[in-house]
Amino acid sequence: MPKLTIKGGLTYGGKGINFDVSIDIKPLTILIGPNLSGKSLTLMCLARLARRKIIARGYVNDRINELPRSLECAGDDLNYDYAVYVDTYRTMLQPFVRIRSVLDEIRRAVEELGDENLRAIRNSILRDVDTLNKSLSENEVAGDLRIRASMRFLYYAMDLFEKARKEFQAIIEEVSKSLGERGEDFRRALSHFMPLFIEYVNTADNNSAWYWYDLELGNTGLNVEELSSVYAPSLVVFYALHTYALPQNSVLLIEEPEAHAHPSLSLFLGYFLNKLVQDSERRLRGGEKPWIFHIVTATHSMDFLRGALMAGEDTVEVYVFNRDVAEGKITVEPWSGGAVVPGLTEPALLTILSGVVRGEENEANRDKHS
């Protein structure tokens, strides 16, 4: 089984943090734990080990390249040609679409400046425009994936997506029937688990754009600005499908796939991503797909984790990251399936705590008014 090790340290706010981390990489590896416990850094270390290319927005690529050399990232049998990185800043897509036309106007205006004395200023402005495009644009990443993806395997992935949706809906229907009178409310509440699909296409005027489908209403459009933030988890699906279809060994690295997702959508995302790696493993064993496809993701969602395990546990490994504040180091251990999971069970505990606090406040109010 491939293994990632991270050793060394980095400076954080003037203090040192030590790493001595070793994790086995299964087809779907899930990193859980509190904020600032090294999960994102682990994803970036994995990306840095890609043999051919990191496919990510410029901002993310810069962060990966700027990892301190005092931090040693090493992989035993990690033979990934490509690392595709999806980060929580993917919600930048909508505002970038809005400023893209402004950047184009700046470029056109600057290119019309012909005075030799203005050449240096013009070139400087154009470089700044290119830097913004590269840093913020999702389009380059999507276009790169679209060009590299095998159409044959993309078809397989799309077919699997449809099958997973039908399977998941069937599970909802079956469970709702067992709930008696409450079943219909349950079915209605969870049936909207994957309302939107998004892809990157060529338009009639030979430009590229993000095309979206409302899978329930049948509505479509080319303007992502009119969507809610639900397009963010839909992009996770887009990247998963295309990374699966890359004709080289690839790993998809996802920060918080559940960002902006309803709990039922988080559950489905975990379920679908596991189904996707299971299909890749099956085709790999059968000699039909000779390329590795793995997913490593950091999550704060118990729903996402449950969805992944619901699809089968053999392809999944879960690691709990934590911070040892006293010793200034990151600790990692396999999740044993226990009830208390750092970073995931706090919401339930806080609900209990807030109920106690509200109870005390109500008691105090009663005393004050009596």
> What integer is the mean pLDDT of 204-225?
87
Contacts of 236 (CB under 8 A, 6+ apart): 86, 254, 257, 269, 273
Give residue 328's pLDDT. Answer: 85
Which of 319, 154, 323 is closest to 242 using CA atoms? 154
Q: How many CA atoms lie within 13 A of 203 on its CB side?
A: 10
Give residue 4's pLDDT. Answer: 96
256: alpha, beta or left, given left = phi > 0 and alpha = psi -120 to 50?
A: left
Handedness of CA 82, 245, 289, 252 (dihedral sign): positive
Across 5-19, 151-165, 187-201, the highest mean pLDDT is recorded for 151-165
Residue 180 pLDDT exceeds 70: yes
Give residue 350's pLDDT. Answer: 62
Q: How confident is the model at residue 355 (pLDDT cuts 50, 70, 90)?
A: low
User: 118 versus 244: which is more confidently predicted?
Assistant: 244
Q: Reduced to 3 states, what is the DSSP secondary structure of residue 289?
A: coil
Residue 93 pLDDT exceeds 80: no
Q: How confident is the model at residue 209 (pLDDT cuts 50, 70, 90)?
A: confident
Q: For the chain, how far is it from start to end, CA to CA, in angstroms?
A: 68
Q: How confident is the model at residue 226 (pLDDT cuts 50, 70, 90)?
A: confident
- What percentage of the chain exceeds 70 in pLDDT? 86
Q: How many CA atoms lie within 13 A of 339 on its CB side?
A: 2
Q: How confident is the model at residue 100 (pLDDT cuts 50, 70, 90)?
A: confident
Residue 121 pLDDT exceeds 80: no
> What integer is the mean pLDDT of 167-177?
92
Residue 98 pLDDT exceeds 80: no
pLDDT tens, residue by residue, 324-350: 878 889 999 999 876 666 666 666 666
Q: What secondary structure does DSSP assign to 45-83, as a single string? A: HHHHT-SSEEES-HHHHHHHHTS-TTEEEEEES---SEE
Q: How confident is the model at residue 213 (pLDDT cuts 50, 70, 90)?
A: very high
Q: How confident is the model at residue 369 (pLDDT cuts 50, 70, 90)?
A: very low
Q: How confident is the model at residue 285 (pLDDT cuts 50, 70, 90)?
A: very high
Give residue 45's pLDDT. Answer: 95
Residue 363 pLDDT exceeds 60: no
Handedness of CA 235, 236, 242, 248 (dihedral sign): positive
Residue 190 pLDDT exceeds 70: yes
145: alpha, beta or left, given left = phi > 0 and alpha = psi -120 to 50?
A: alpha
Q: Are 125 and 106 in contact (CB under 8 A)?
A: yes
Which of 194, 209, 328 is closest to 262 using CA atoms? 194
pLDDT tens, residue by residue, 9-41: 888 777 788 999 999 999 999 999 988 889 999
d(CA 266, CA 180): 25
Residue 113 pLDDT exceeds 80: no
Query: Could you tell me the two tokens for 52?
Result: 């051919």
> What integer is the mean pLDDT of 206-215?
88
> What integer is the mean pLDDT of 146-166?
96
> What integer is the mean pLDDT of 262-284?
96
Give residue 339's pLDDT. Answer: 61
> What integer is the mean pLDDT of 190-197?
90
Residue 351 pLDDT exceeds 70: no
Residue 161 pLDDT exceeds 90: yes
Q: Are 331 and 47 in contact (CB under 8 A)?
A: no
Give residue 172's pLDDT. Answer: 92
Long-range contacts of 158-162 (CB under 8 A, 24+ apart): 158/241, 160/275, 160/276, 160/279, 161/237, 161/241, 161/272
Give residue 92's pLDDT. Answer: 67
The CA-atom distances, in angstroms, between 174 and each of 8, 178, 268, 305 are 50, 7, 16, 21
Residue 354 pLDDT exceeds 70: no
